[in-house]
Structures are given as structure tokens and as C-alpha cells.
Amino acid sequence: MDKIKLQLYTKSDCPLCDEAKESLESLAAQFQIQIEEIDITANLGLFTKYKELIPVLELEGKRLFVHRIHVNSLKRKLMWQRWRRWFKDTVWEDQK
């Protein structure tokens, strides 16, 4: 099964961003996640969109968290995502 890909919108000199990265790193192995860190200062459009919200964590283009990552809630979301993928890859394919 492929890793779950998360996008973390961040910037330097952001204590909440550092906290978010630590939280994600602690879950990376357990949930087989891949974190794409996106620096909002490299793109004016992203900076305008996210400057008041960072860090922002997204999964498949859907916003999961802003400002703070709630680890227990994220664990539930990741477990649900993993189950959905397993179901789609195994059970759903068996029905075809």
C-alpha cells in the first residue's frame, strides 16, 4: 500500500510550524505517511492564501488542520484513510 501523502504549508521562523513537523515526524513510521513540506514564502499566491493560517495540514487537497495539529484526531483520520485505501484495494477490487 502506498504511503499516505500529506502537505504541510509552513515557513521559516514559525514555532507552530516546528511543533507541527515534530508531531508529524512522530507519526511517520507508525502510519506510513509522506510529508511534503511547502514553504509559502516561495509563492505569492500561497503566501496570500495561508499567511494567517500556518501551519496548514492537508490530505488530498482537503484541509485537516490549521495553526495546531491535534495528534489524536490526526491518528483517527490516518487510520480511517488507511482503512479506506485497504478496502478500495482489496474488497472493492474483489467485487469487479
Tell me the per-residue pLDDT of 21-61, one tens digit each, with 9 for 90 and over.
999 999 988 888 999 999 999 999 999 999 999 999 999 88
Task: Give the tens place of pLDDT for each residue, 72-93.
Answer: 999 999 999 988 888 877 765 5
Which value, to the nearest 10 degrees, does the dihedral of the CA atoms of residues 35, 41, 45, 47 take?
90
Domain CATH for 83: 3.40.30.10
Q: What is the residue whose three cell numbers read 500529506? A: 6
User: 58 is in which domain, residue-wise?
Assistant: 4-95
Residue 67 backbone class (left: φ over 0; alpha: ψ -120 to 50; beta: rest)? left
Name 76's Cβ contacts closer than 8 Å, sequence gap at least 6: none
The total number of structural domains that make up the chain: 1
